[in-house]
Structure 1
Amino acid sequence: MFDHIGIGVSNLNVSQSFFLPSLLPLGVGLAMEGPGSIGLGRNGKPSLWLTESSQKPTPVHIAITAQTRAEVDAFYAAALAAGGRDHGAPGLRPHYHANYYAAFVLDPDGHNIEAVCHQPVL
Structure 2
Amino acid sequence: MPFAHLVLTVRNVPKAQDFYAAALKPLGYKIQASVLDGKIVGFGEHSPELWISERHARKTEEERKALLKDSEQSGPAGELVHLAFAASSREQVDQFHVAAIAAGGTDNGTPGIRPRYAKNYYAAFVYDPEGRNIEAVYMGDA
Q: Fold-level match, TM-score > 0.5?
A: yes
Poorly superposed stretches of 4+, deviation over 6 Å = none
Could you tell which deviates more after superposition, 55-64 or 106-115?
A: 55-64
Matched letter for residue 26 of structure 2: P
TM-score (norm 2): 0.81
Residue 112 of structure 1: aligned partner: 133
Q: Give the CA RMSD over aligned residues.
A: 1.2
Gaps of 5+ in 2: 56-67
Larger radius of gyration: 2
Matched letter for residue 62 of structure 1: L
Residue 14 of structure 1: aligned partner: 15
C-alpha change, 1:97 and 1:75, in structure 2 (3 Å) is: same
Matched letter for residue 23 of structure 1: L
Q: Distance in 1 between matches of 2:20 and 2:5?
A: 16
| Corresponding residue pairs, total | 120
Q: Distance in 1 between matches of 2:35 and 2:120?
A: 38
Q: Within 5 A, what are the aligned runs for 1:5-84?
A: 5-35=6-36, 36-43=39-46, 45-53=47-55, 56-59=76-79, 60-84=81-105
Deviation for aligned residue 1:34: 1.1
Q: Give CA-to-partner distance per residue, 1:3-36, whole Å, 9 cap, x none.
A: 1010111100000111101100000110111111
Gaps of 5+ in 1: none
TM-score (norm 1): 0.93
C-alpha change, 1:14 and 1:34, in structure 2 (3 Å) is: same
Task: Determine which structure has the larger strand proportion and give its number.
Answer: 1
